[in-house]
Amino acid sequence: MTREILVAIMVLLLLLVAPASAVGTMQTAQEVTLTVSVENQAGESVSNTELTATWEDGSTTVTTASNGKAFVDVPKGANVTITLSHPDYIRNHPYVVKDASEGSLTIPVHQRGELSVAVADSSGTVSDATVTFRKDGRVATKKTTDGDGVVSSGQIEAGEYTVSVVKPGYYRNTTTVTVDDSAETRVMIEHGTVTLTVAVADPHFSPPESLRGATVRIDSIGQFQTLSGGQTSVSVPVNTELSLTITKDGYETVTETVRVRESDLRANSSLSRTPSLTISPLNSRVVAGESVVVEVSDEYNESVEGATVLLDDEEVGTTDEDGRVTVPIDDAGDHTLVAATDGLRSSSVTIRGIAEAGETPTATATATPTAAPTESATPVETNVGSPGFTTMTALLALVAGVALLTRRRR
């Protein structure tokens, strides 16, 4: 191996190693250290707290020393979420660091606590009631009562909480409770209803046109008809989420969800006519060779521009801004007209072409019985071959031919 080759290899190795070293140095330079202090409500340091820091593509876990501090290395500028674990202390929510940079921070922790809630109405315990535990305006946890109407918050921060209990058909009950290592409370709730008014209107018009006679079906409640003003009113349970289905002949069906709270509610619903096309020739009978004006309208009887008109399944024109087109009727007989646009197709209409006076209309191919031949008093001679060659002449020629053949055989 020559010296030049050795030098080239060494240079190549240096070029390969140098970028890797630079990347390693750059990555190290992009890390910052968070000095984390954990303290209880009395301001005392909490040691032996396990801290787990997570970010978009990584995580790390450290434990606080006797002074309640720990050093956490994280990527510079990262959004870091820090969760804590300690046998005596807890946080209802993780601690979040946005756009991490070198520095110190203090994370407060609280003594552990637990609250048991029993829910009942005038008839007894209430299962499947939702119990929400809030501290300082934030939701700490949300649970549902069991078959005995009881629910436990689980381990949460000790302190003062707002506990709200709600179930569909019941008024919400909110109370304030102090949570310690083993707290209990009982909450009573009551049935309640409010009035739901459903107003149905057609938004095509300005202002929208109220629709009388629309059917409003409310799941688990019943079916109702809108009256004058397009409205219907019904009593419904409080704190429920209801599904409404609204129908009317000639209109598209609409399904909506209405959230009912604890006061009367009005729901405004829009119902539009089912899209359709109608084709209307100004005349149903036209002299063959002339034309007929055709109008195309939509479900609101308004002119449709740009609709394609077909005569006997062949395109013959497109409607103008007034929804009209002139269609030539070339032949006598019945013809079919159809309009189509935007995926819609009208029902067909028939227009008849009439032959002019003195002309014989084009006959429609139909099966016509063949009349039996009638005997004529005077025989009709049929010319075969040249003129004067009658049936009798043909017979005489045949006899002569047979005689000639007989003579030859002899």
* HSE-up (13 A, CA, CB side) for residue 384: 9
CA distance 79 to 370: 98
Q: Which residue has the tokens 């660091």?
A: 97
User: Which residues, other chains included, contact 339 with Cβ-Cβ below 8 Å and sequence gap of 6+?
Assistant: 277, 278, 279, 294, 296, 304, 307, 308, 309, 310, 319, 345, 346
Burial of 285 from C-beta contacts in 10 A (0-12 / 13-18 / 19+): exposed
For residue 410, pLDDT beyond 50: no
Neighbours of 354 (CB within 10 A): 15
pLDDT band at 4 (very low <50, low <70, confident <90, very high): low
Q: Do the Cβ atoms of 98 and 74 come closer than 8 Å?
A: no
> How many helical (H) and strand (E) elements, i.e. helices and strands, does the chain have?
2, 35
Q: What is the CA radius of gyration of the chain?
A: 47
**Helix, coil or strand: residue 308:** strand
CA distance 151 to 153: 7
Mean pLDDT of 74-100: 96
| Residue in 273, 250, 295, 278 with CA at minimum distance from that of residue 347 | 278
For residue 112, pLDDT beyond 60: yes
Q: Specify the pTM.
A: 0.68
- Pairing label, strands 103-108, 69-75: unpaired
pLDDT of the residue at 182: 84
CA distance 128 to 167: 7
Q: Which residue has the tokens 């063949």?
A: 370
Mean pLDDT of 56-72: 96
Q: Do the Cβ atoms of 291 and 327 come closer than 8 Å?
A: yes
Highest mean pLDDT among 15-19, 160-164, 388-392: 160-164
361-401 tens-digit pLDDT: 444 444 444 444 444 444 444 443 444 444 444 444 444 44
The answer, yes or no, to whether the previous bond of 207 is cis (omega within 30 of 0) is yes
The residue type at 48: N
- Pairing label, strands 222-225, 215-218: antiparallel
336-353 tens-digit pLDDT: 999 999 999 999 999 999
pLDDT of the residue at 6: 58
Joined together, the tokens standing for residue 287 give: 């002299």
For residue 279, pLDDT beyond 50: yes
Neighbours of 85 (CB within 10 A): 14
The residue type at 401: G
- Encode burial over 264-275: b for 16+ CB neighbours within 10 A, e otherwise: ebebebbbeeee
Give the residues across from 225 on adjacent strands. Answer: 215
Rounded to 5 degrees, what angle do the CA atoms 292, 293, 298 make?
135
pLDDT of the residue at 181: 84
- What kind and span of H or E run contains 393? helix 391-409
Domains of the chain: 3-110 (2.60.40.1120), 114-188 (2.60.40.10), 193-270 (2.60.40.10), 277-354 (2.60.40.10)
- What kind and span of H or E run contains 245? strand 240-247
The dihedral over CA atoms of 254, 259, 260, 265, expressed in degrees to the nearest 10, equals: -60
Mean pLDDT of 249-254: 97
pLDDT band at 162 (very low <50, low <70, confident <90, very high): very high
CA distance 406 to 401: 9
> Phi then psi for 22, rounded to 5 degrees?
-65, -40
> Phi then psi for 193, rounded to 5 degrees?
-135, 160
pLDDT of the residue at 221: 95
129-141 tens-digit pLDDT: 999 999 999 999 9
Q: Do the Cβ atoms of 243 and 230 come closer than 8 Å?
A: no
pLDDT of the residue at 286: 95
Mean pLDDT of 201-216: 97
Query: Is pLDDT larger for residue 404 or for residue 43?
Result: 43
